[in-house]
Structure 1
Amino acid sequence: MLDSCTNSQERWGGVHQLIDRWLAERKQMVMNYTQLRKRQAPSSAPDTELAAFCDTLVDYLSAGHFEIYEQLMREAEDFKDQRGIELAHQVYPRIETITREAVTFNDTYGQPDCGVDEETMQARLHHLGGLLHERFELEDCLIEVLHTAHKDMLSTV
């Protein structure tokens, strides 16, 4: 999953600062996820690994929905890119479903001292990891289609 994030950042880094920041948040979230998946058991201290993952998860989800997707749709509409608009309408419902799953995970585990059953949390985290991987692919597809469609137009502006 981390390789996928690195490849995306290399392919689209610099396109726009907002997307750059978002891809950096994605990479941090994946690193937090990986750290959390590797642990044997939480310590008796506050669960900082789980809190760090949930914090980056919510930041990433929020940036996607309230900044990135809006900007990509606006760009598609500005360039009258029917293909991009149609793709967005096909992809967004699945991204929203994955978002709901991720928010449910955060609501369950994102509060300090939430009384984590490690085995159950790890199973749900593993499931969420698969969903996030799918989401990354969908998001990358949106960015690639919209960036590729408008790259030549932007260079002449």
Structure 2
Amino acid sequence: MKTTRRSHYLRAAVAAPLVVAALAGCGGDAGETEDGSGGTVAEDAAAGDGAPGVPDACRDAFPQALGPADLSELALLPEGFPSPPVDATLCITAETIGGAQETASYASQATEDEILAGYESALAAYGAAREQDGIGRPIVTATSGDVVIQVTPQDGGFALAFAR
């Protein structure tokens, strides 16, 4: 299928917040954490404790998760947006500076096809279509008003991107 220009922009929109979140957990001096356990949050996560408030299901798929995720923080999430059509755990919510793009990342044991087929159906009212991103991976795109939605499966889960 032909890749649209907006898919390239959304791919960047998904990647940028995830890179920033991953880098935010890097570095730092060992010391006392908020829970008094010693070490850094990154060291605690590597030791199997995980970051405070991050569900255990998120550890493998989203090791960069630094705290609890909350969908109510996403201003671009369309009103009445459906819950995931597959069993999934919310791991990360993020936005770019200025809020032009936002993401919600979920851990899930569902297959790529189950995720894509589920969102094609769940987002049918938003004109969902299966496409390919800039590197040939299958995605689902949809539109709600001036918000473009992209669903991108990945190992151990998927990411939803919302952009104006």
More helix by share: 1
TM-score (normalised: structure 2): 0.26
**Structure (1/2) with the larger strand percentage:** 2
| TM-score, structure 1 as length reference | 0.27
